Amino acid sequence: MTKVLLKWRGLRIAYGGWLLVCLALTTCAVAADPAEKPGEALYLQLGQVGLDPAQVYRVRGASLDRSAINITLEDGTIAFTKDVLGHITGAFFEGYGEVLLTPPNEVERRSMSLFTGMAILEEHFATAYFRFNDNVADELRPDLRASDSTDFTTRWGPTAQNLASADATRLLMTFSQMLPVNGDPVSSEAAGAKTENGEDRFLHARLQGTKLGVFDVYFDSMAGEPVQAGQAKTREGGGNFYDVWTSFSPTDSETGRLPRSITLSNKEKTREGRVEVRGYKLTTEVQPPKKIHTRARVQLEVREGGPRTLLFELSRFLQVESVKLAGAPVEFIHNPAVEGTQLSRRGNDLLAVILPKPAEADEKIDLEFVYGGEVLAEAGSGLLYVGARGTWYPNRGMAMANFDLEFTYPPDWTLVATGKPMPVAPEALATGLQASHWVSERPIPLAGFNLGKYKVATVSAGDIPVETYAATGVEKDFPTPNIQVVDPQMVDPMIRHRQVIVPSRPSPAHMEVTVGEAAARAVRYFADRFGPYPYSHLSLTQMPGRDSQGWPGLVFLSSYAFLDQQQREQLHLEPYRILMQQSIPAHETAHQWWGDLITWNSYRDQWFSEGLSNYCALMMLQEKNPAGFREIMDKYRRDLVTKEKNGMTPMEAGPVTLGVRLLSSRFPEGYEEILYGRGTWLFHMLRAMMRDAAQQQTGKPVGGTDEPFVRALRRVRERYAGRSLSTAELLSVFAEELPPALRYEGKSSLDWFLHGWVNGTSLPKLELKGVKFASKAGGTAVSGTILQKGAPQDLVTSVPIYAVMAGKQQVLLGRIFADGEESIFRLSAPAGTHKIVLDPNETILTEPK
């Protein structure tokens, strides 16, 4: 269910200055011939540059300001790095300095505070390493004096040189613009002009804080969120994390609330969006158990002119043999100077392609990559899978594109891929291998395949075939439940039915029809509600491990999804977990709509794909098993407030809109607990709220395929199919369905829900106070106060109030906005009402009782 999480992280490294420090590719003293490989020579030079003994100065009272970042070098010594292409790109400082960074809104201040204990970053530092692509050296110059420090570069040179590699890729993006075109040098003024007018400015400060230890501060004008601070952290008991303390766009600084611009297309601003992939043609020979060899033709379209270097994500375990542009070889950089045995630890999954000249607007670029290597892993029982770092084709992130995939593979294997199966070219069959061909039916955000010794079973969801591919066994490290069987050898007249314990190995192939039917039911259920299933068929394939992923038309299902009831009980799984495992096929099927047909816009929007897919699966469960639904929702709620070893509760990890930032050293499970737990609840709240209001308006029960929540989602699908969606856009479609009773302050907007609930973290406590009943013509007038405790002052919550009638029957009187701590209400109730209750059906994510 952790869909393409790792993939996303890799990409931000590539494009956004995001988690850049993870990219500590230690380049050894390897040189490339600048005439033959100017790009690689430049990259290595940028990654190995050392301090210049001729450029050491005393510095006093100098400061660097970049947006919300202010760095002051009060007093100390600074040395600049040697020139690269005539530019100074780094400096090392020792002395007394201070950094000040003020996050622009509550969400970011809370995040900063979680990691540093302060809402505003204000920290002294003793040393600093700076890397930049602009005029930092000139900025500092007025505050520099000659220095007599002779051993400064000896002392700090090796440290500076070690730190240089981290930003080499980012700096290559800038300085490759200055590489010669057709042998003619580009004037550094022409290329430098870009950095002057603020189009491409980058500054990374690696600071040795006096209280906080080593941390990073970034300004990168090319990133969706240019300002960022964070720290690499190893958790006690293991696990390496990069804690993002804050990340934001300077244009958001003025407002106190999380502005919409953050959730609107960040891509517009970054180089990421300047060059788009339109289509892929991937011809792959799979050599089980581990190898692939691929020829990838990638069609790109340049939306805005400029870049000389194009970055792709590609597994470090693949060796690139060649990259060609319109048939002619072009230069590429992919883990140069990293030994094969060091790849998993020190390599990275980025491939840089240096174009012979800067790309121009509207230019179409056809690149051909040839590469091969070991990206498959073998888990036993004829189960292969593309490994954790298995980015098997060069991609520029999740973006809608057409895919044409051809595979050849040995005769005894079965291969399943994204797309529609197509006839195979005759030459592919002549090899004695098997061949298959898959073409996407509409642009899809990503493509994958799976290979195994499967058995297949087909069921159908209307006219959509659902094929399930599973092996007869599970992975080697699958836990072994013990089952009791009657051993015929041991049965004797004296001890009838003597039982022995023998280990049982589940056989997923036996469960194919059950699993396939669960997915088929989900296809029908969601298609009825959200519009047709987007592809012509659905394939489910068994994947080793606990995680499942729903890719377009191809679901990778954890072996755990193939267990039968008895096997689950033998694993001693708690009842809610058994229900969750049973709903995995529905969850992954829901991703076909939420996540695949419609992708998320930025990391701040990814929550809707998980929360909504999860909620859709639970909507199905609720119809069949309301008690089971309640149990899962209650478990989510309790998990959010259950104290961990460090005394903190997962709800403190942050709001759903922090997405993968929730995965931190403080909360290693934060991503799952918030995105699934709180995310699912947010959709439950929206649905219940809209249904109550519609019910009151029409006086009739509302449900099935036409309830307002479902109608809104159908509209989301109609409007955003084939595109990405932001949280604000999603909520504005829901807002269109709001009846007058749900218009806070008279406005048809869910801004209050976005601010308090989506960008909030609290689980408030709701209580009634001072309730009075008065008889009036034809009924009872009820008044009182709703108390909202344990929540921020400005939290707004829509609260349903019910009258308890004779025979314990409960009648919805209406929904009232609890606005802050105390909210007075007046409602009409049926005659004879003398008791009211708040939210008896538990539709609000309140503190558990």
Catalog residues that contact Zn ion under the rule CB under 5 A: 1, 3, 610, 613
How many Å apart are CA 515 and CA 520, to the nearest integer?
Answer: 9
**Residue 623 beta carbon to Zn ion: minimum distance, rounded to whole angstroms:** 20
Closer to Zn ion by CB, 112 or 597: give it.
597
Closer to Zn ion by CB, 178 or 557: give it.
557
**How are beta strands 538-543 and 554-558 bridged, if at all?**
parallel
Closer to Zn ion by CB, 1 or 91: give it.
1
**Residue 3 beta carbon to Zn ion: minimum distance, rounded to whole angstroms:** 5
14, 313 Cβ separation under 8 angstroms: yes
**Residue 587 beta carbon to Zn ion: minimum distance, rounded to whole angstroms:** 6
**Amino acid (one-letter) located at 598:** I
**Residue 822 beta carbon to Zn ion: minimum distance, rounded to whole angstroms:** 39
**Residue 550 beta carbon to Zn ion: minimum distance, rounded to whole angstroms:** 6
**CA-angle at 173, arms to 38 and 213, nearest 5°:** 115
Closer to Zn ion by CB, 107 or 663: give it.
663
Closer to Zn ion by CB, 684 or 691: give it.
684
**Residue 114 beta carbon to Zn ion: minimum distance, rounded to whole angstroms:** 25
Residue closest to 427 by CA, chosen among 279, 283, 280: 283
Closer to Zn ion by CB, 179 or 580: give it.
580
**Residue 609 beta carbon to Zn ion: minimum distance, rounded to whole angstroms:** 7
Q: What tokens does 465 get?
A: 């075939």
540, 515 Cβ separation under 8 angstroms: yes
193, 186 Cβ separation under 8 angstroms: no
Q: Who's near 676: CB < 8 A, 6+ residues apart?
A: 1, 610, 611, 614, 636
Task: Report the DSSP beta bridge partners of residue 826.
Answer: 783
Residue closest to 304 by CA, chosen among 344, 333, 271, 258: 271
Q: Element (H or E) spanning 51, and its range?
A: strand 51-66
Closer to Zn ion by CB, 440 or 549: give it.
549
Which DSSP symbol is given to 382?
A: T
Which DSSP symbol is given to 664?
A: S
Residue closest to 595 by CA, chosen among 400, 803, 319: 400
**CA-angle at 620, arms to 614 and 626, nearest 5°:** 105
Closer to Zn ion by CB, 45 or 539: give it.
539
CA 837 vs CA 46, 280, 458, 807, 840: distances in Å: 67, 58, 50, 15, 6
- Alpha-helix residue ranges (DSSP H) falling in 117-227: 136-140, 152-164, 168-175, 188-196
Q: What tokens does 782 get?
A: 């009820």
Closer to Zn ion by CB, 1 or 178: give it.
1
- What is the side-by-side order of every strand in the sheet holding 822-829? 765-776, 779-789, 822-829
**Residue 594 beta carbon to Zn ion: minimum distance, rounded to whole angstroms:** 9
341 CB burial (10 A radius; 0-12, 13-18, 19+): exposed
Task: Establish how many alpha carbons lie within 13 A of residue 117's alpha carbon, considering only the half-sphere containing its beta carbon.
Answer: 3
- Alpha-helix residue ranges (DSSP H) falling in 531-669: 565-570, 575-582, 584-590, 606-624, 626-641
**Residue 678 beta carbon to Zn ion: minimum distance, rounded to whole angstroms:** 15
**Residue 693 beta carbon to Zn ion: minimum distance, rounded to whole angstroms:** 29
**Residue 590 beta carbon to Zn ion: minimum distance, rounded to whole angstroms:** 8
453 CB burial (10 A radius; 0-12, 13-18, 19+): middle
Closer to Zn ion by CB, 123 or 610: give it.
610
**Residue 524 beta carbon to Zn ion: minimum distance, rounded to whole angstroms:** 20
How many Å apart are CA 542 and CA 548, to the nearest integer?
Answer: 9
CA 245 vs CA 110, 206, 510, 654: distances in Å: 9, 14, 48, 11
Closer to Zn ion by CB, 606 or 761: give it.
606
**Residue 557 beta carbon to Zn ion: minimum distance, rounded to whole angstroms:** 12
Closer to Zn ion by CB, 4 or 416: give it.
4
Closer to Zn ion by CB, 316 or 661: give it.
661
**Residue 518 beta carbon to Zn ion: minimum distance, rounded to whole angstroms:** 15
- What is the side-by-side order of every strand in the sheet holding 328-329? 328-329, 318-325, 364-374, 291-302, 275-287, 402-409, 434-439, 420-422
Closer to Zn ion by CB, 376 or 675: give it.
675
**Residue 589 beta carbon to Zn ion: minimum distance, rounded to whole angstroms:** 10
**Residue 197 beta carbon to Zn ion: minimum distance, rounded to whole angstroms:** 43
Closer to Zn ion by CB, 610 or 692: give it.
610
Closer to Zn ion by CB, 176 or 539: give it.
539
**Residue 613 beta carbon to Zn ion: minimum distance, rounded to whole angstroms:** 5
Burial 468-486 (b: 16+ CB within 10 A, else e): bbbbebbbeebeebeeeee
How many Å apart are CA 466 and CA 486, to the nearest integer?
Answer: 37
CA 803 vs CA 278, 739, 781, 809, 845: distances in Å: 58, 22, 11, 8, 21
Q: Which residue is nearest to Zn ion (CB)?
A: 1
Residue closest to 210 by CA, chosen among 123, 129, 112: 123
**CA-angle at 351, arms to 346 and 354, nearest 5°:** 130
33 CB burial (10 A radius; 0-12, 13-18, 19+): exposed
Closer to Zn ion by CB, 231 or 613: give it.
613
